[in-house]
C-alpha cells in the first residue's frame, strides 16, 4: 500500500502515527528522500505501508526522481493519495494526471473490450451495444498508429478511444485508491460535511490522529481481504495469526497454495467451520469458497 502526494501534505506524519515508524518530518518540502516502509497491524493482518517522496508536476517525465517514485506505486495493492484539504482539487488533478501518464488507472475496472491479433483478414469490429464515440474508421486509425492491420475487436459497452488504447497497450495497472484529505483541523464543520460526501475520500488529521479508525476500516474494505484460521488436528485454532487471502482468490486451493505448494499436491479434503459451511464442520474439496474468519483443517493423503 503506497502513500503518494505532493511535498509537505503530511504523508510522513500519517505514516509515523499509523505505523509507529519514524519518517523524518519537517515543515519544508522534500523531507522524505527515499521510500520509508512501515507496518500496520489491523484485524490480525499485517499491512505494509510505503511512504513515498513527494511527487511534483512533471514527475512522469522524470522530474524530482518522479519515475522511480511512480514505479513503486505501480506494484502495490492500494494507493492512499494524501492531499492537503486547503487545496485538494488542483493537487488531486495533477497527481492523477502524473499517475495516469505512467499507466496507473485509479478506481477503474479494466475495459471490457475483446482484442485479439491475427495473421490476416483485416480489422473485424463487433459492437454489442451502440457506440457514441468509436466507429470502424476511428478504430482502424487508432490501430494503424500501433501498426496493427489484422485484429478482432469486440466492444461490449460504450467505450472511449482512451479505453481502446489502454487495451492495445496492455501495460496498464488498475489500482483502488483512497483520497486522504489531511489537515482537517484547519477547516470548519460545514466544509467537513461537504468533504464527507465525496466518493473514495477520508478526511483525517495526521497530526491530531483524528478519524484514523475510519481510514483503517476503509483501507481494509478497499484491499478486499478475508482472514482464515488454520486448525491442527485435535487442537484449538490459532486465532493470533490468520492467513489473509484476497476476497476474489478465496478457495481452499488458494489457502493451500498460500501455506505451501506441497500441501496442494498432498491435499485429500478439508474440514471447514464458519459461515461458508452448511454444517459445522463440513467436509469440502479444493473448490470450496471460504468466507471471512472461517476455520480450516486440511487433511492430507496418506
For residues 102 and 33, what is the distance between their CA atoms, to the nearest angstrom? 20
pLDDT at 302: 81
Contacts with 124 (C-beta within 8 Å, 6 or more apart), sequence order: 151, 152, 153
pLDDT band at 230 (very low <50, low <70, confident <90, very high): very high
pLDDT above 90: residue 272:
yes
Mean pLDDT of 158-166: 90
Bridging pattern class, strands 104-106 and 173-175: parallel
pLDDT at 295: 93
pLDDT above 60: residue 284:
yes
Local structure of 58: helix, strand or coil: coil
The pLDDT mean for the chain works out to: 84
Burial per residue of 220-252, b for 16 or more beta-carbon CB atoms within 10 angstroms, e otherwise: eebbebbbbbebeeeeebeeeebbbbeeeebbb
Contacts with 119 (C-beta within 8 Å, 6 or more apart), sequence order: 150
pLDDT in tens, 64-92: 666 777 778 888 889 888 888 887 677 88
Contacts with 236 (C-beta within 8 Å, 6 or more apart), sequence order: none
Beta bridge partners of 3: 51
pLDDT in tens, 241-260: 889 998 888 899 999 998 88
This prediction's pTM: 0.78
Amino acid at each position: 500500500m503506497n502513500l503518494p502526494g505532493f511535498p509537505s501534505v503530511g504523508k510522513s506524519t500519517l505514516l509515523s502515527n499509523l505505523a509507529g515508524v519514524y519518517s523524518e518530518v519537517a515543515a519544508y518540502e522534500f523531507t522524505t528522500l527515499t521510500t520509508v516502509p512501515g507496518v500496520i497491524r489491523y484485524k490480525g493482518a499485517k499491512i505494509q505501508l510505503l511512504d513515498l517522496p513527494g511527487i511534483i508536476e512533471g514527475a512522469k517525465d522524470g522530474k524530482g526522481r518522479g519515475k522511480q517514485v511512480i514505479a513503486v506505486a505501480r506494484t502495490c495493492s492500494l494507493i492512499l493519495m494524501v492531499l492537503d484539504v486547503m487545496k485538494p482539487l488542483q493537487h488531486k488533478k495533477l497527481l492523477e494526471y502524473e499517475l495516469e501518464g505512467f499507466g496507473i488507472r485509479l478506481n477503474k475496472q479494466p475495459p471490457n473490450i475483446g482484442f485479439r491479433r491475427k495473421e490476416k483478414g483485416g480489422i473485424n469490429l463487433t459492437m454489442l451495444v451502440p457506440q457514441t464515440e468509436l466507429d470502424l474508421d476511428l478504430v482502424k486509425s487508432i490501430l494503424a498508429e500501433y501498426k496493427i492491420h489484422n485484429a478482432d475487436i469486440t466492444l461490449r459497452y460504450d467505450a472511449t478511444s482512451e479505453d481502446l488504447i489502454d487495451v492495445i497497450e496492455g501495460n496498464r495497472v488498475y489500482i483502488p485508491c483512497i483520497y486522504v484529505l489531511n489537515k482537517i483541523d484547519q477547516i470548519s464543520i460545514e466544509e467537513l460535511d461537504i468533504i464527507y460526501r465525496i466518493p473514495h475520500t477520508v478526511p483525517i488529521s495526521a497530526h491530531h490522529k483524528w478519524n484514523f479508525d475510519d481510514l483503517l476500516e476503509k483501507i481494509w474494505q478497499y484491499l478486499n481481504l478475508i482472514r482464515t484460521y488454520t486448525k491442527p488436528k485435535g487442537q484449538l485454532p490459532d486465532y493470533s495469526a490468520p492467513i489473509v487471502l484476497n476476497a476474489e482468490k478465496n478457495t481452499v486451493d488458494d489457502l493451500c497454495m498460500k501455506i505451501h505448494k506441497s500441501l496442494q499436491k498432498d491435499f485429500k479434503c478439508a474440514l471447514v467451520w464458519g459461515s461458508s459451511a452448511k454444517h459445522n464442520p463440513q467436509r469440502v474439496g479444493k473448490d470450496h469458497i471460504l468466507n471471512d474468519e472461517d476455520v480450516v483443517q486440511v487433511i492430507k493423503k496418506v
